[in-house]
Structure 1
Amino acid sequence: MSLKNRFKEMVQQWMERRGRRPELKQVIWFSFTATAMATALIMGISFYGRFLAQIKDTFREENQFLMEQASYSFSNHLRNMMKVSDSLYYSVIKKTDMEIESVTDSFQLMYDTNKDHIERIALFSMDGRLLESAPAGKMSKGTNIKKEDWYWDTLASEENICLGKPEVAHLFEPSRQEYTRVVPMTRIVQMTVGDHVERGILLIQLKHNDFQDVFSNILLGGGSYLYLTDADGEIIYHPQQELVKSGYVEEAIDLNSIPSSGIVKNIGDKQREYFVKTVGYTGWKIIGVTQTDGIALNTFKSSMFIAFLTLFFLSIIVVINSFLSKRVSAPMGRLEEAVNRIEAGNLDTDIEPSGFYEVWHLGRAIDKMKNNLKRLMEDIVKEHEAKRKSELMALQNQINPHFLYNTLDIIVWMIENGKKDDAVNVVTALARFFRISLSRGCTVITVQDEVEHVRNYLMIQEMRFKNRFSYEFHLEDGVETLGTIKLILQPIVENAVYHAMEFMDGDGEIKVSVFRQGEDLYFLIQDNGCGMTQEQVEKLMNGMDICSGKGAGVGLRNVRERIRLVFGDSYDLSIVSEPDEGTEVRVKIPAISYDILRQRGLD
């Protein structure tokens, strides 16, 4: 018996004595403990102490040199921006009588010269009035510079140039869709206004991207990076600024505790070495961070030595893995195939737990989860259908036949005046109208019944409005047997009667057409009434009342919601109208037979 097979048998016998299936973690522990200990011992003695300290020293020196470069470049950039501020103050503002002269051209020239680095130049009075801006712009509504932190920092700084914290440029209405991040640079200025001197504030918004460009050109290796803070330690620029702000990356370090030579601190599970360089004129600090536990050996001999050790221990691990893979991969592979079938939607997949204890237990858990998921999906489908039916019935119940009372008044009036035949016609039409409205509680009816329902409604309204309008119907052959949800035409026709026919004097016309185009069915309702403006159409489509007391917009909104609820968002109604030209309402639903639509379970 080989050593491999004997070891395997010993492990299995030991597990069987424990009275349960072998656990994967125990097999791996027995297999890898000796290898891990030997690896740690040999590698630690061989190269850790010998090379790492030397490489850290070299790496630290290189990073300190790069920090000096970053500090020099950044200081030059700030110095140039301060020169812009000095030029505007001493060469423009101080030499200009603001009462009779303008600094617009000078401001614009300075902006054009430095627009790659400056977002905006602005001059304010001490009470917050905008005196000049380049480029020209309008301040955002509700903006008050006295609410800005840099305003009070500037007052405290007196004659010194003050650099504020980064912020989103919000003082002026943006010329583009997106807002940009800026760093405000401000100073108190003395302005000549006629025969007296007034104080003001000169604001230069520096582009925050410039800071990123300066630091991104300084490439530190080994996971090291630079970031910038103000004198209080608040971060101005960080390569992972959003992550730091959200708390995913930690930079909890007291700047006063860091000597120039650096300090090593553990942040989370990372060991970092910090270096600080103060930027002149500002008090800002450039902080270099070196991941001391991530420094790699990069000499040729060291690389060859590491490669040799790696290959040696990999060969040992491969031998051990050849034993483990046969025991682990087969049941895991079968389990993966089963999970893939479940993921594809086949919840009838059979799962047979096998393998080590963890894999066997996982298979049982997935099988239980599959059964629970199948049951939950069935419950969700039933609940969704019930909710859809409930919402549809609630919307349909909102269609209130409020004209019933007026119709009964007409019938009473006809009887009192001896017009019994007309009263009989109205009562007959009213009965037919409500028979179709109720439809034995059904939601789905045929197109023929929906059109008949509207025909009865118009017959009643024609008598009520004393023949002020006429109506006609045009149905394409074959559409009568198609299915639709009930009460989608009556609210639209009612809208036409009340808003278009009320002021007609016998020459009003309402046309109802039903036709099919491809896989879609269209209802077209046209009138020659007074029409509507586009603003009125939009109000009506949004469920707003365009005529006080009518409430027609609610009916249209109800129709739209029921169409979308049953058929989806691709189906809706549209309105085309022009003042004095009439109105056209087009309803689009899928062309589905009555029987198929009933099978959807809407009733």
Structure 2
Amino acid sequence: MCRTYFFTNWNMKRKILAVFLPLLMLSTLLILVSSISLIIRNGKAEALNNAKDKLSLVTGQTDQILSNITYNIKAFSTSSALQDAIRAEYPDNNYGNYMFSSTMHNAVHNIMEIQSLISSGYIHTRDGRIFDIKTDEIRAPDAEMDARYREIAAEKGRILLEYPADKSGAAALTVSKSLIDIRSGSCLGILTFDIKESLFYDSYHSVSDEENECFLLIDSAGTIISSENRDELQTTASPEILGLLEGMGKPEQKTQYKSGGKIPQETTAEHMLLLSSETENGDYLVVYMMRYYRIYKEALNLALFLLIIGILVLAAGGLLSSRLAQSIVGPVIRLADYADEAGKGNFDLPVPVHSGDEIGFLAERFGVMNHNIKELTTRIYNEQTQKKEYELKMLQAQINPHFLYNCLDNISSLITDQKNETATAMVSHLGRYYRAILSKGRNIITIREELELIRAYLEIQLIRIPDLFTYEITVDEDILDFKILKMILQPIVENSVIHGFAGFKNSGRIKIEGTLENQTVCILISDNGKGIPEGSRSSIFAPAPTAIPKHFGLKNIQERIRLKHGEKYGISIKSEQGQGTQIEVRFPKTL
């Protein structure tokens, strides 16, 4: 019920899109998922075949390297030049050592192929000399070397592949063999060479993707003797890889496959594909590792391509659906926007729909209604403006006669008391006061004229009640000729005299200041009178049921200024009971 309610309250365009877009998205999604599933399945099989081909290639190259090492070691050990150098008799002195070193150097370095295979090594002769292959140094063997000599000599010429003594990773393995005299069959000594790890590294580095693939060469004990991750050299392989070693030596398990492992050099549990293949001699295992991402890489690229196509199809479908919806509901939407603008008070916009159908007729009638509303609003505004002017005149009609009668009574009393000069001054001020009020029927006068009106009023009040107050007017000369609505400031001053100083006998102060701030005229009128009670302050601008409320003048001033200049202008009141009142009048600069 709730869903039906929401759907019913949707606009027409949303309803059309809500029907067409889900259908389009569902069909596109089904096609996309089916295509991706097929591509991934085929891509996985292809990637696996490629991985097996690479593993087979690297295994073959590893076998070739091991065979080459075996061949060269055999050739080196049977070299006649080498055996002659060892058989020769040398004096047991420095010269003899020099002759031995020179002869061995020539014999070793004439066999160039062996130099490209080894990183270090030595020859231990039967007479107890150690000759370093790389440095040509001669030294005496230690106890460990003697034990090693006896162990290798006991193998009677068999090639031994062992762990390298150097654990830095420069050597992959150590090759040892006894030197059998080709003439007599006796043992002339032994050779021990460290085979370069780079031989194996170079064989697979060029065919692997460093980012997603990794090759390892592992011996039967699980030690990594070559790896693209240099930190793994001469370390023990991970448990997943060690599991592959269980089948080494079994012909039916020559190549194994295992998934779900983790690449050793990664710290995250990212699933891997593991493939392994033994070397021909069965002593080493070549391991290929690849992230599953690598298997899916091509499939993901194709899937991304299909996804882009799907998005484009959805976008095109959405655009077409939107165009269809727009062509149907566009006029209605424009008419709704037109109605919204009219609701905001903008009645000057042209009717947005011009067609001969029902919507066009509705738009035309709506335009006529807007025109009528605009005329009615203008008429009401003018009537309100006139009403305020009538209220002002009514206020003046009710207040001014009373003020005039009081002044005439005061003048009469002054004449009776023989105070003719004071009476004359009062008549003069009264005349200036009423001339300013009448001002030839103008409703807008200058600030200078409004201040003259205030001065005349204050002087009259001071004649009537001497010493009641003092006043000060400090208005910038630059603003005196700016225009102001008549009787805007005088009622405020009158409130200060009548209400602010009620009960006062003297010491009253009135100050009028005027400045220009950012093209806005600011007139500040302050007194030290009784102040306005808090309850009265909050009701000054509230609608009043009576014809002339106590603070009608202030409310009237506020409304006259805002009707003339806008809501941002008007008066603000600050008053504390017993401390006085401060009223600021703000209106725009007008010449």
Larger radius of gyration: 2
TM-score by length of 1: 0.37
